[in-house]
Chains A and B, each alone.
Chain A
Amino acid sequence: MPAIPLHTAVSYVAGAYLVFFALVLIYVAIMASKLSRIETELSELTELAIKERENRDPAPTGGPKTDPAPTGGPKTDPTEAGGPKPEAVAR
C-alpha cells in the first residue's frame, strides 16, 4: 500500500490525537465538577457541624448561671437532661 500524501495524513493523525486528548479533557472536566460538588457538600457539612455544636453548647464561655442543679436553671428543657453528651456528637 503506498503512503498517502503528508498533508492528508496530518489531518487524520491530528484528528486521532485530538480524540484522545478530548476524551481525557472531558474526563478531567467531569472529575472537576465532582470535586466542586464534594467541596460544596463539605462546606454544608461544616455548617451543619458548627450548628450542631452551637446547639449542644449554648454558653461556651461560661455565663453567670452555671448551677447544674435542676431547680437553679430558669430555662432548662427537661428533655435535654437525658440526651447524649456533647462530646459523643462532636467526635
Chain B
Amino acid sequence: MYGKGLRALSVTTALVMSGAIALVFFWAPEDADQGFAQKIFYVHVPMAIVALCGFVAGGLMAIAHLRTRDSRWDMRSYVAIHLSIILGVGVLLTGSIWARVSWGHWWVWNEPTLVSFLIIFLLYCTYQPLRFSIQDPERQARYASVFAIMAGAFVPLNFIAVRLAQQYTHPRVLGNISGNLPGKMEWTFFASMLGMTLLFVTLWKYEMTSKHASSQLRRLKRLLGEEGQSTGRRSAAPAPRQRATQV
C-alpha cells in the first residue's frame, strides 16, 4: 500500500541528493563574507524548512484524523512529526556548528531564529511522551491529534513572530532570495531543498510501509493465534507488545 513506487522514489532521492551535494561543493561559488563555511547553509536551511513543514503537515493530517476518525491519518501524522523531530535534531546540531564558525559561539541566546526553533523542537519533544502515556488507543490518537494541530498552528505563528522581531542577525533566505543569493547559489539551494524534501517523503513512506506491514502481521498473528487456541480463550486484550499507535 505505502510501498508502491518506493523504489523509484528512493532512486530519485539518491540522485537528487547526490546532484545537490555535487552542486554545493563543485558549482556554487564561495560566499564572500563567510567563505567555505557558508556551505553549511545548503544542508542546515533546507533541513530546517522541511522539518517545520513536516510539523505543519503532521497538524494537517491530524485534522484529517479528527474529521474522518480514520486511524491511518493519525499514523501518518505521527510518522511526519517523528521524522521532523529527527530532522530537528540535525537542524540544531548543524546550526550550532554554523554558529560556532560564523559567530564564534556554539549557541547564541539572543538570536530569535535559533531560540524559536529550539522552542518548537522542545514543544514537539513532548509529543511522544504525551502520546505513549495514554493507554487507550482511541484516546491516545485523539489527544495526539489535538496536540499536533495546536503545535502545528504554533509553527507559522512562531515564524511570523521571528520575522517581526527587531533583531535580524540571522541570514534571511526566503524573504529576499533574488536580492540576497546569486543565481548559482540560488539554484544550488533549490536543489538542496528538493533533495531534502524528497528525502523526507521517502523516509516517511519507508516508515509508513514498515508500520503498516508490522501491524498487518500482528493482526494476522492474532487471528491465527485465536484460531489455533481453544475457543474458550478468546480475549479482547491487545497483544503484549502492541503499540496503540500502530493501526
A residues with CB within 8 A of B: 1, 3-4, 6, 8-10, 12-13, 15-17, 19-20, 23-24, 27, 31, 34-35, 37-38, 41-42, 44-45, 48-49, 51-52, 55, 84, 89
Hey, which chain A residues are within 8 Å of B160, CB to CB?
A: none
**Is A9 a contact of B43 with CB atoms below 8 Å?**
no
Residue among B30, B32, B40, B90 making CB contact with A23, cutoff 8 Å: B90
Q: Chain A interface: which of B53-61, B112-120, B224-232?
A: B224-232
Hey, which chain A residues are within 8 Å of B97, CB to CB?
A: 12, 15-16, 19
Q: In the assembly, what is the distance between CA of A23 and CA of B89, in Å?
A: 9
**Is B210 a contact of A31 with CB atoms below 8 Å?**
yes
Interface of B is mostly: helix
CB B1 to nearest CB in A, in angstroms, measures 15
Residue among A4, A37, A48, A55 making CB contact with B37, cutoff 8 Å: A4
Q: Chain A interface: which of B125-133, B138-146, B213-221?
A: B213-221
Q: In the assembly, what is the distance between CA of A44 and CA of B31, in Å?
A: 57
Residue among B40, B86, B199, B213 making CB contact with A12, cutoff 8 Å: B40
B36: interface (CB < 8 Å): yes
With CB as the reference atom, state the residue of chain A lying closest to B228. A52
Hey, which chain B residues are within 8 Å of A44, CB to CB?
A: 221
**Is B90 a contact of A45 with CB atoms below 8 Å?**
no
Hey, which chain B residues are within 8 Å of A19, CB to CB?
A: 90, 93-94, 97
The interface centre, meaning the residue of A20, A35, A51 with most chain B CB atoms within 10 A of its CB, is A20
**Is B43 a contact of A16 with CB atoms below 8 Å?**
yes
**Is B203 a contact of A9 with CB atoms below 8 Å?**
no
User: Chain B interface: which size bin?
Assistant: 35 or more
Hey, which chain B residues are within 8 Å of A10, CB to CB?
A: 36
**Is B227 a contact of A12 with CB atoms below 8 Å?**
no
With CB as the reference atom, state the residue of chain B lying closest to A44. B221
**Is A38 a contact of B213 with CB atoms below 8 Å?**
yes
CB B206 to nearest CB in A, in angstroms, measures 6
**Is B224 a contact of A48 with CB atoms below 8 Å?**
yes
Q: Could you jot down 30 A-B contacts, CB within 8 Å?
A: A1-B34, A3-B30, A3-B32, A3-B33, A3-B36, A3-B37, A9-B35, A10-B36, A12-B37, A12-B97, A12-B101, A13-B39, A16-B40, A16-B44, A16-B93, A16-B94, A16-B98, A19-B90, A19-B97, A20-B43, A20-B47, A20-B90, A23-B89, A31-B206, A31-B207, A31-B210, A38-B210, A45-B220, A52-B228, A89-B227
B residues with CB within 8 A of A: 21, 30-37, 39-40, 43-44, 47, 86-87, 89-90, 93-94, 97-98, 100-102, 199, 203, 206-207, 210, 213-214, 217-218, 220-221, 224-225, 227-228
Question: Are A48 and B228 CB-contacts (below 8 A) given A1-B34, A16-B97, A27-B86?
Answer: yes
